[in-house]
Chain A
Amino acid sequence: MSTDRQNISDQDLALVASWRRGDISSFEALVRKYQKRILNIAFRITDSYEDACEVTQDAFLAAYKGINSFRGTASFSTWLTSITLNLSRDRYRQNQAKRRNEVCYLDGPLAEGEDAIRPDIPYPGPTALEKLERRAFHERLMQCIKALSIEFRETLVLRDMQEYSYREICDILDLREGTVKSRLFRARDMVKDCLKKGL
């Protein structure tokens, strides 16, 4: 596992070096390699597919502009994830502020615009009933994650969904390992309680 990660990191560094020499196709290779991961992290934090797409674009653009600040002490994916989390956090806070200032309609929530981008989430399952049950459970799980405050949410997303190591999470969030462990326990505990209440 760690050998695979090391190989990936070495490949990334080679691509970064080539990109620094002016080969734009190396950067494109990195975009295609990491766009899904970055999009999913942004999606779990911002809770909006549209926002996640924008954050992903911004994150890659910021990486392109700020490549000189990448020293190679951490892996490229850690550095990119760190940029993404910062942008996602900003977007999340903007959305929170916007919601606080929004007019509340008593006759129900606003209908989403028809042009809004919606994620195409695959639900594999043998029967339609199972698919529906699974979808309902995932929606419930999503609600539980959404209920978490941002610092618990990002720790949970990085560890349980993106499977970053504790060391990498420490680098990305710039936290001590003890803090990461404590946050992760609290986040899992809250999700567990939330799911129990719902079931």
Chain B
Amino acid sequence: MEHEEFRLKLAAYLDNAVSAEEKEEIRKHLAMCGRCRGEIADLELTVSHLKTLPEVDPPSWLADKIMAKVEEEGGQRSTLWKWLFFPLHVKLPIEALAVLFICVTGFFLTRMINEETPITAKPSAPPALTKARPPSHEESEVRSVSALPKTKVDIQRRLMDNHPKMEEKNQVPSLSVNPNPQESTVTQEKALPNRKMIEPELQWTGNEYFTEKETRSAVKEEKGAAESKGGKKGKSLAGGEDSAGSVLQRAGNVEITIIVDDPALASGKIENAVTSIGGRINGRSYGGATNQLIIRIGADKVARLVDRLSRIGAVKRYPQLSPDAGGTIDMIIRW
């Protein structure tokens, strides 16, 4: 060690806070270095002076004042405690009643909120729902396409849309024209990428499945009904949905439309809803005016899917399926 290193350790040496090895080294150095000997003597004297500095006595009131402050602190807590709970025989029943009141209010509020949220559509439910609540602007727009009475041309076009052979024969563009001449709404129906996977033999007409032939006869009946109704267009929106609107939906190709606040945010939730119940996502189209998800799902899981979707947004268009429908279904979810 150098002289400066020894010097720095002199204070610790004085306090006996060095190792035995260091102690021996310092001792040897002190025997040789007169400057360090003088320094350690001075340090020792300084320390002894410091130790002689008299201590100050605390004022007699100090401990009492500290205790008074502490009791004041503790007193504040006990006052709050007393204010909340004492006397017990008065305050406990009041507090119990208050808690009960809060629970009951909460229960009824929850029920009210649940009643306001759209209920999952069962196959037979839509007419009742439509009657119970007047349709909003958005709803009426959706129904203007799907629920109003359709003409034969319209229905045939849709059938051809879903049937490749018929599409080859007749080159009519896949446009759904609102048969109502007064409104003349034209809606472009997007071609489905997985359309060929759909079984064209079965058509869902609201309550039961029909073959293509039966569908055509249903179309004729529908046409007749529409003619007999004459100008009474949209007499019953629910009725329209049950009859002509449902004819268009096929067992293998079902649509659900949801109104959501934040379409981007809803995308993930909808996908989760589908996959969580065992559905498969076959395609997605995000970013346009309408987002859509093409899925394949077991027919028995459709009700659960609708239930989950109704928690994400307001389901405006319900899938029209037979309750005893089996197998898998290709479905489009729009929002």
Contacts and interface: CB of A to CB of B under 8 A. Distances in A.
Contact of B58 (A39, A159, A182): A39
Nearest to B18: A181
Contact of A195 (B11, B46, B54): B46
B46 A39 contact: no
Interface in B51-69: 51-59, 62-63, 65-67, 69
A141 B49 contact: yes
Chain A: number of interface residues, binned into ranges: 35 or more
Nearest to B45: A192
B67 A161 contact: no
B168 interface: no
A123 B54 contact: yes
B12 A181 contact: yes
Nearest to B12: A181
B32 interface: no
Nearest to B43: A188
A120 B10 contact: no
B46 A191 contact: yes
A39 B56 contact: yes
Given A64-B70, A161-B50, A119 B62 contact: no
B66 A61 contact: yes
Interface secondary structure of A, over-half rule: helix
B71 A57 contact: no
B67 A57 contact: no
B8 A185 contact: yes
Contacts of A88: none
A142 B56 CA distance: 13
B66 A60 contact: yes
Contact of B62 (A24, A35, A65, A181): A35
A27 B51 contact: no
Contact of B50 (A53, A65, A191): A191
Contacts of B139: none
A31 B63 contact: yes
A57 B59 contact: no
Contact of B53 (A52, A61, A138, A196): A138
Interface of A: 24, 27-28, 31-32, 35-36, 39-40, 43, 49, 52-53, 56-57, 60-61, 64-65, 117, 119-123, 137-138, 141-142, 145, 156, 159-161, 166, 181-182, 184-185, 188-189, 191-192, 195-196
Given A119-B57, A185-B11, A192-B45, 14 more contacts: A28-B67, A32-B63, A53-B59, A122-B57, A123-B54, A137-B49, A138-B52, A138-B54, A141-B49, A159-B15, A161-B51, A184-B12, A185-B10, A189-B43
10 contacts: A32-B63, A35-B63, A39-B62, A57-B65, A60-B66, A117-B59, A119-B57, A188-B43, A191-B50, A192-B43
Top 8 A-B pairs ranked by shortest CB distance? A185-B11, A119-B56, A160-B50, A192-B46, A60-B66, A181-B12, A39-B58, A35-B58
